[in-house]
Amino acid sequence: MTAPFLPFTRPSIDEETIAEVANVLRSGWITSGPKVLAFEAALSDYCGGRPVRVFNSGTATLEVALRLAGVGSGDTVITTPLTWVATANVILEVGATPVFVDVDPVTRNIDPDKLEEAVTPQTKAIIPVDLAGLPVDRDRLYAVANKHGVRVIEDAAQSFGASWNDNRIGSTGDFVSFSFHANKNLTTAEGGALVLPPDIDPFLCERLRLQGMQRFTDGGMDVDVLGGKFNLTDIAATIGLGQMKHLEAFTARRRELARAYFAGIDPALKLELPVANFSNSNWHMFQVLLPAGVDRGKFIMAMKQRGIGVGVHYPALHLFTLYRAMGFKEGSFPKAERIGAATITLPLFPSMQDSDIDRVCSALAASLQEIA
């Protein structure tokens, strides 16, 4: 019998959570309500009591964080070119200019050795990204930010459940943005959360989340800032509450699967493996780099024919047409470009079986041999 297709990711949602979602649907209160408040409280507790507000996407949290930080026209924001394009798009959305810094070829995160030289008087913020769930070096990051008085908006979209110096990501730092998209370690189907620093008014964050609206006890209302439509539904929050119960188990299982990949991938295949970090990373993704000269499109097709789904996370975003029009080109950030052109995301999700790792490792060898 042919083995079922193995996608690169699949959410794990238990029957109890599904039943709770059905209860919310029956309740008639399906947009933002008591479940949102409960989810925010659970996230705040997870983040050491810091204020947390939930949104309909991780992208929205980044945009609102930039606005809360006062970033706008004439400002620059430093970030990495090796990330989902939303990280840079939100900088443009608030009227600022992205400044890219190339990545460390080992961690594949923004290179801390090159960070400070990118800071100018126009720099208002830094958006580091924890690629594949491996945290950026927070010590070096904040040393630069604090020295120059710039805000940090941690794009921790991929690192919920990870840690730095034994502290959960989100429990320390400036702004911290999480994503709960369907492919994340904790999902609400679509959604995100923003952890707020102590100098930011949570009520202002809430107004930016929903049209700038203030409501008064006498039935009156007012709008004093330009807000968006970024609120999370109770349906999504209910999924998140159910996911929170399993987060530690999810992370432990991902680490087990990552260890199995390190043990099972044949070194003779010449694949470039990620950093074997089992103390900080949540192993959101297991990414390998293909050997030079391998046609990635043919490789993806060969794996698909063997029943294995793989992903590409991410092409170097400065080579997209939108950013080329701003003057970026090949050679601007060579390390990010090399990694972006060669990266492959292998299947990794908690419900995978040990035998699935064996399937993937066998398919890797067969596919590379086939297209050689």
Q: Exposure of 215 by Cβ count < 10 A (0-12 exposed, 13-18 middle, 19+ buried)?
A: exposed
Say whether 124 is catalytic.
no
Name beta bridge partners: 176: 154, 195
Q: Phi and psi dihedrals of 204, rounded to 5?
A: -65, -40
Query: What is the DSSP code (8-state) at residue 347?
Result: P
Sequence-ordered list of residues with C-beta below 8 angstroms from that of 229, at least 6 positions apart, any chain: 210, 211
Number of other CB atoms surrounding residue 273 within 10 Å? 14
Tokens, residue 188: 């609400």
In the set 114, 124, 147, 184, the catalytic residue is 184
Contact between 340 and 314 under an 8 Å Cβ cutoff? The reply is yes
Tokens, residue 336: 């990010």
DSSP, residue by residue, 43-89: HHHHTTT--EEEES-HHHHHHHHHHHTT--TT-EEEE-SSS-THHHH
Cα gap 257→339, rounded to integer Å: 23
The catalytic residue positions are 184
